[in-house]
Chain A
């Protein structure tokens, strides 16, 4: 099986291809309701997680709320 080479939160990471945003979150064990996803600087809204397919070289940011003032 081929691998996608992504940059996720600043670090190189390979995931099995093909992968959607939903697939990446599942691969990483993340709850989609707790994470906001950006692919190549574009926010991917939750309803689109299943349909957006990641491509080799994509830059992904996964953010959430942490303690702050």
Chain B
């Protein structure tokens, strides 16, 4: 995939690369919570995302066999990133990751080990253990974690292909609660840092990308919008705008005003 040319010809962005795989979009989207499959497909198309997340669940033997997401999403068109959502222990997450890999698409796993039902915050002990095991088994682990630098560093050391700190809790739409933490994690890690969870609207996505992170993964902000495809388009622009603003380098913050017009040459 070629690099994206920004308006300033001297400034070329590099593509997002995770685990040796190059992706054309820095926006990754989930496939859950849509009111219909048609709405999901329209939104994902409008988002411009290449990576779409999916969950592993039992086939419902008493219902239509058309319920699997692959009946609606062409795996040749999208990069399927399976998650371990709903897993509360390292062992359970490892089992789900192995099941997901067996589906035969890729070695990537969005690893979640949830520690608490109310907040869905990660169990970082379990996450670290599962990351270590799965990385050894050849998985490209994208680890969903807290906005905690030390844990992010440990996940990287454990072999994570990408670290995915939250902006705020899953499905909360509270936006980026701690820009400093996210910025620091990005500055200190060598592997890609993608913010996962918490973005509520386009401005949240833009501010998040302005911190310099490599990408954002979101689901609810698009799926629960009144018009998901429209919000997806807004997110696409917001992620691109935030990325460009980061690359452009923002002006310094000042406590006093500095005039934009000449202070000399005023008519007497």
Contacts and interface: CB of A to CB of B under 8 A. Distances in A.
B98 to A, nearest CB: 6
A64 B59 contact: yes
A66 B30 contact: no
Contacts of B217: 69
B102 A66 contact: no
Contact of B33 (A11, A63, A67): A67
Interface in A26-69: 28-31, 34-36, 38, 41, 43, 45-46, 61-69
A8 B53 CA distance: 26
Question: Interface size class for chain B?
Answer: 35 or more
Given A34-B70, A45-B102, A68 B61 contact: no
A41 B248 CA distance: 52
Query: Residue among B30, B55, B104, B197 with the most chain A CB within 10 A?
Result: B55
A3 interface: no
Interface string B36-62: 000010000000000001111111110
A63 B219 contact: no
A31 B32 CA distance: 23
Nearest to B81: A68
B31 interface: yes
Given A67-B54, A68-B83, A69-B220, 6 more contacts: A36-B100, A43-B102, A65-B55, A67-B69, A69-B55, A69-B217
Contact of A66 (B57, B95, B98, B197): B57
14 contacts: A11-B61, A34-B70, A36-B102, A36-B103, A43-B99, A62-B61, A64-B57, A65-B80, A65-B100, A68-B54, A69-B31, A69-B85, A69-B218, A69-B219
A69 B218 CA distance: 7
A67 B60 CA distance: 14
A45 B103 CA distance: 9
A9 interface: yes
B222 to A, nearest CB: 10
A30 B67 CA distance: 12
Contacts of B104: 46
Interface string B1-35: 00000000000000000000000000000111110
A66 B55 contact: yes
A41 B70 CA distance: 24
Nearest to A13: B61
A62 B58 CA distance: 6
B33 A69 contact: yes
Nearest to A11: B61
B58 A9 contact: yes
Contacts of B59: 9, 30, 35, 62-64
A8 B61 contact: yes
A4 B166 CA distance: 47
Contacts of B34: 67
A41 to B, nearest CB: 8
Contacts of B61: 8-9, 11, 13, 28, 62
